[in-house]
Structure 1
Amino acid sequence: MTTGPLTEAVLEFPDNRLLIDLCGEYDRNLTDIEARTGVQILRRGNQLAIHGAPEAQAEATEVLRSLYERLEQGREVGHSDIDREFRMADDLPPDDQLEMFTSGKVEIKTRKKLVEPRTDAQKAYVTSLFENELAFGIGPAGTGKTYLAVAVGVNMLITGAVDKIILSRPAVEAGEKLGYLPGDMKDKVDPYMQPLYDALNDFLPGKQLGKMIEEKVIEIAPLAFMRGRTLSNAFVVLDEAQNATTMQMKMFLTRLGEGSRMVITGDRTQIDLPRGMPSGLADAERLLDHIPGISFNYFTGKDVVRHPLVAAIIEAYEKDEVKT
């Protein structure tokens, strides 16, 4: 909490209906902002009075104005939007990157929702997905690597930039053998693919998604099923790439065809390969980082957008790894 002499700043909002939405149900949005900055916010008619130390007061003022502008554009304001405003304000990029980050808001339009990056690292990642034919997203769980990649894929599909989406994961056996799982091969493999289905369900209506999968406009398949294919005019995502072997990674990367985009996501700390078997993701980082047209984007615990405890857990493990 910032210390210093307490002052009052008064913000006036012309549309009282939007001000109600800004405050949130039972003023929960104001309570959230108060908890993050240490200020006290009082509502007086169509005004908000902000009491607190000058630095904290300025931060709260900036966030409130940004959220009100969002409401003026016809958008909603919730906890995730407040979280994004604070993250973007707190994690300013270096001077040589300012032009990229201030050139306008990065948004991903899908059939069901508008997706907006919530950290600067996410913003840079989404920008690279649109700008590069091959992009890597590397970092811990909960940083939005796969979610944002699938959102961009859906956007490119519905705008006609690609003809299909192909989502893949290595079906690595982590404690339970595939052969012992019930059902046919699809039944055995689908549990590994479920996070990809979950992301798609966030962006496409159920009936439309079902039809696209039935017509193979959208394919979800294990990495092993990619062998021998040339993936043209497609948006291709390889998720959990840390569990691909070197040969599998090479096989997958060389599937890239004309008019396609490819995204590789992974977490170096969650390798489930047998002991002694190198990860294809690590080899790809080492071999490809100098090639123009291939981007590498990295995330840390600060970019986790799940429950706040997830970020704390990741940071604790990262600190322990540094010690050992």
Structure 2
Amino acid sequence: MTETPARRHRASTDVEHRIVVPAHLPVVALLGPGDEVLRAVERGFPAVGIHARGDQITLLGPPADVALVSRLLDELLEVAASGTVLDADVVGRSVQMLTAATASRPAEVLTQNILSSRGRTIRPKTVGQKTYVDAIDRNTVTFGIGPAGTGKTYLAMAKAVQALQAKQVNRIVLTRPAVEAGERLGFLPGSLSEKIDPYLRPLYDALHDMVDPDSIPRLMDSGTVEVAPLAYMRGRTLNDAFIILDEAQNTSTEQMKMFLTRLGFGSKVVVTGDVTQVDLPGGTTSGLRVVEDILDGVDDVAFCRLTSEDVVRHRLVGEIIDAYARWDTVTRDDADGHRDRPRRAGERPSRMGRSSRPGRAVLPGPSPAPDDDAPAPGSTQEEQE
């Protein structure tokens, strides 16, 4: 590999370190096609000179940077040895884990296979996702709360299929609230199935990624897999089942209680949702927003919070989530400031109940963002929740 002029000038404090790639692992598996992985490491650590020759990789640069790159390459070697294909995204996530000083190593996170299906392996990609998956294993009821694109529903679905294949449960029950129609679907055209299918489509899409599509009708006809709106859960007891409630931010407190009390013997429950995208009618409290306070101290119940750092969609999705969070904070502070201060001379109350200066537009308080989380039919794994 050609070294840049900056790398050829060795500072007196620079150190050199050599890494030998094990004989059983092709060097290309570490460097990536066209040295893609190596270039990604170089971009992340421009102060470190990296030279690959044969089965050896030489690092030259400041001691702290060389030590971190050495750790990174050791982790990538372990990930590559597990059969995982390395790319720039894997490098970026590994660097994030190492620099965040988390307890989990990149190799532990990126090699934890959940399910292999149709030539693809589903595994957590971030520390937050691994924590979520581990919580599902350890607890009877797990709440996955976080923004769009963090894999809440998709990973829960993978764990459900894994449990079914391992005969830990006898069936999978998938449910969502059909909240946009207030679960009163009679005014919509078409049969009942045609009315509710748009609300359940993301669950069907995830299922198609993990199970042979030809077997899905048979599984559903036999009751092994059931996809139904939340209203259909009332009055039931679900034994030996893996039950997933998706879009739980759109349940009322009464609906959340109703759902959680469906739990029967030998069952496991996962509840997923994004409390920043509530579509309930005005004045209705989201059951997902208050359930942690209600169940505080209850054994065998876990709450996992995913963040923009756990987003596995396009890079911009995480930045959009952070931007909306900042906007919510600013508008909330602005609203609180207007409510708290005395009205100035010449001001009149705004129609939203806050005072405003003449000619100045007043931003509304934080309102639920529109629910754009549901992927369209035929979406890929990376687009699933």
Which TM-score band (shorter chain)?
A: 0.7 to 0.9
Q: Is residue 224 of structure 1 aligned with residue 258 of structure 2?
A: no
Q: Which residue of 1 aligns with 2:114?
A: 108
Q: Which residue of 2 aligns with 1:135?
A: 142
Moved more, 82-91 or 195-204: 82-91
Report the identity percentage.
42
User: Equivalents in 1 of 2:65, 2:220: separation in Å?
Assistant: 49
Contact 2:18–2:56 (8 Å) recurs in 1? yes
User: Equivalents in 2 of 1:7, 1:308: separation in Å?
Assistant: 34
Q: Which residue of 1 aligns with 2:68?
A: 59
How far the C-alpha of 1:165 sits from its partner, in A, is 0.8
How far the C-alpha of 1:114 sits from its partner, in A, is 3.3
State the Cα deviation string for residues 244-296 of structure 1 (Å, max 9, x = none): 11111111111001100001111110000011111111231221122111111
Q: Is residue 44 of structure 1 aligned with residue 50 of structure 2?
A: no
Q: Is residue 185 of structure 1 aligned with residue 192 of structure 2?
A: yes
User: Unaligned stretches of 5+ in structure 2?
Assistant: 1-10, 333-385
How far the C-alpha of 1:124 sits from its partner, in A, is 1.6
Contact 1:146–1:265 (8 Å) recurs in 2? yes
Q: Which residue of 2 aligns with 1:28?
A: 36
Q: Is residue 147 of structure 1 aligned with residue 179 of structure 2?
A: no
Contact 1:8–1:50 (8 Å) recurs in 2? yes
User: Equivalents in 2 of 1:261, 1:59: separation in Å?
Assistant: 40
Match of 2:204 among 167, 187, 197: 197
Q: Which residue of 2 aligns with 1:266?
A: 273
Q: Which residue of 2 aligns with 1:165?
A: 172
- 2:265 alignment partner, SS class: coil
Q: Which residue of 2 aligns with 1:278?
A: 285
Which of the two has greater helix per residue?
A: 1
Q: Which residue of 2 aligns with 1:253?
A: 260
User: Equivalents in 2 of 1:6, 1:186: separation in Å?
Assistant: 68
State the Cα deviation string for residues 9-68 of structure 1 (Å, max 9, x = none): 332213386211222221112222222333453321222233443333333322222222
In the superposition, the TM-score normalised over structure 2's length comes to 0.74
Contact 1:107–1:115 (8 Å) recurs in 2? yes
Give the number of equivalent residue pairs. 316
Moved beyond 6 Å, runs of 4+: 101-105
Q: Which residue of 2 aligns with 1:15?
A: 23
Q: Is residue 309 of structure 1 aligned with residue 316 of structure 2?
A: yes
Greater Rg by CA? 2
User: Equivalents in 2 of 1:105, 1:23: separation in Å?
Assistant: 18
User: Equivalents in 2 of 1:82, 1:201: separation in Å?
Assistant: 29
> Residue 30 of structure 2 aligns to which amino acid in structure 1?
L
